[in-house]
Amino acid sequence: MTRSFAVTTDEGEVILRWPRHPRSVSRARQELRKNLADWGAADLEDAALVVLSELLTNAVRHARATHGREIETRFRRLESDGSDGSGGSCVVRIEVHDSDDELPVVRPYGPCTDGGRGLPLVAALAERWGVTPRNGPGKQVWAELRAPTP
């Protein structure tokens, strides 16, 4: 199983399309890991891979889509000029686009509950995260992670 589409824009955004299959998650993680290394953002690797895994797994499992529709991931490094008090640290944005208009729901969970921890985990690891409707069917669920300042 491979991605069906890959492009890097002039702005450095990496856009990949994936079949709606659980194996796509591990392949997407490999791509993100490679890009983080290329961007010199390896210190974000652990958190970024967990965030991507949770967002993409949610899309594969829960997003309703017509047969044959793929899921799109987008990764990009954002430059911070330090005006936000960050000292100019690196920010990586991870997006998962699907064709389902239904928004994700943060469900309550307990110690014996199976599932429901993904979005709270994303919220804990990301500096910011959210959901944005797309122009056309579907939504993008996104998260931004900031590299720790030395």
What is the CATH number for 10? Answer: 3.30.565.10
Which pLDDT band, with edges at 50, 70 and 90, does 8 fall under?
confident
Determine the length of the chain: 150
Residue 86 has pLDDT above 60, yes or no: no
> Stretch 13-39: mean pLDDT, rounded?
95
Our count of domains for the chain comes to: 1
Quick one: pLDDT at residue 32?
97
Which pLDDT band, with edges at 50, 70 and 90, does 23 fall under?
very high
Which pLDDT band, with edges at 50, 70 and 90, does 15 fall under?
very high
Residue 103 has pLDDT above 80, yes or no: yes
Asked whether the beta carbons of 98 and 65 are under 8 A apart, the reply is yes
Quick one: pLDDT at residue 1?
55
Domain limits for position 15: 5-146
- Predicted TM-score (pTM) of the model is 0.87
Sheet of 14-18, strands arranged across: 5-8, 14-18, 71-79, 90-98, 139-146, 128-133
Give 72: exposed, middle or buried? Use CB within 10 Å, 0-12, 13-18, 19+.
buried
